[in-house]
């Protein structure tokens, strides 16, 4: 999938998961969804040309190099008898549920230990990744959420940031997992169930039957999948669905004259 599709599916997943994760307020849901959208791009850090690898220049470039080396080493040590003879860099270690879970847990632990500055660093990284894929419009929504939080939160805003660490790891893990699900719909598939052995492969690529597989960047993704998730992203925004139902109820409710004649 293209980066913007990954980010948009992460945005939708974030809005859907936010209430269950404890980010029920509107401003919290926006921050949660933006974080999920951003980290839905992070698994592609294992590719040098990905937006995540180029985001912060040499810093993310070096992280990309390290991740590729680690992924290749893990692949070499764990590949099954029927796994492909590949380097094991792109779409391997970082494209697994295990990676998503470990990164989410590490994020929660790091934010708890590092305090507000660690929380802000994760939030900023997620926002930068999301904006790079979805555009500057997200800055306006995110900025509005921050202003809302600033004027409505209790006086101890540092404590409020500490509370965010409770669900920030969930947002990070969810973003990485959504990326895996998206790639599993493509022609190449995604070995996101590693290290569970399937059909003699430790890195078995999960994907749908051939006629249903997406071709990255082609018409089905750009003209059908992406627009559908744009609509879904709007409908999942806090309050939008309730407003639509309320509006529909007013539009289609019988008028007083009709009620009187019945």
In the chain (262 residues long), the average pLDDT of successive 10-residue segments reads 94 94 85 96 96 95 97 96 93 97 95 88 95 92 84 67 82 97 94 94 95 90 92 84 67 59 56
pLDDT confidence of residue 201: 94
pLDDT of 166 reads 79
pLDDT at 258: 55
Between CA 9 and CA 132 the distance in angstroms is 15
* C-alpha–C-alpha distance, residues 47 and 188, integer Å: 15
The pLDDT of residue 164 is: 78
Q: Please give the residue range of the domain that contains residue 68.
A: 3-261
The pLDDT assigned to 25 comes to 82
CA 166, CA 65: separation in Å to the nearest integer? Answer: 30
Nearest to 238 by CA among 7, 30, 1, 13: 30
The Cα–Cα gap between 215 and 30 comes to 30
Q: How many domains does the chain have?
A: 1
Residue 16: its H or E element: helix 3-21
CB 48 within 8 A of CB 89: no
pTM of structure: 0.89
Nearest partner of 134 among 223, 259, 11, 52, judged by Cα: 11
**Res 115: pLDDT:** 85
Distance, CA of 193 to CA of 11 (rounded, Å): 23
CA pair distance 64, 38, nearest whole angstrom: 16
What pLDDT is recorded for position 28?
A: 86
d(CA 116, CA 132): 24
């Amino acid at each position: 999938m293209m980066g913007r599709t990954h980010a948009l599916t992460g945005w939708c997943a974030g809005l859907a998961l936010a209430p269950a994760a404890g980010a029920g307020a509107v401003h919290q849901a926006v921050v949660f969804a933006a974080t999920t959208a951003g980290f839905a791009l992070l698994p592609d850090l294992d590719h040098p040309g990905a937006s995540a690898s180029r985001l912060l220049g040499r810093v993310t470039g070096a992280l990309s190099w390290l991740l590729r080396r680690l992924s290749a080493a893990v692949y070499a040590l764990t590949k099954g008898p029927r796994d492909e003879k590949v380097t094991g860099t792109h779409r391997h270690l970082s494209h697994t549920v295990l990676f998503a879970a470990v990164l989410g847990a590490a994020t929660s632990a790091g934010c708890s230990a590092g305090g507000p500055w660690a929380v802000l660093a994760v939030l900023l990284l997620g926002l930068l990744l999301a904006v790079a894929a979805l555009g500057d419009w997200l800055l306006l929504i995110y900025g509005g959420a921050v202003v809302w939080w600033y004027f409505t939160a209790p006086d101890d805003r540092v404590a409020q940031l500490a509370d965010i660490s409770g669900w920030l790891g969930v947002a990070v893990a969810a973003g990485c997992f959504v990326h895996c699900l998206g790639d599993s719909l493509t022609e190449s598939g995604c070995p996101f169930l590693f290290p569970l052995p399937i059909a003699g492969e430790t890195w078995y690529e999960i994907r749908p039957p051939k006629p249903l597989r997406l071709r990255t960047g082609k018409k089905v993704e750009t003209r059908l999948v992406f627009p559908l998730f744009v609509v879904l992203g709007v409908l999942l925004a806090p309050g939008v669905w309730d407003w639509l139902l309320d509006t529909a109820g007013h539009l289609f409710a019988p008028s007083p004259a009709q009620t009187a004649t019945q």
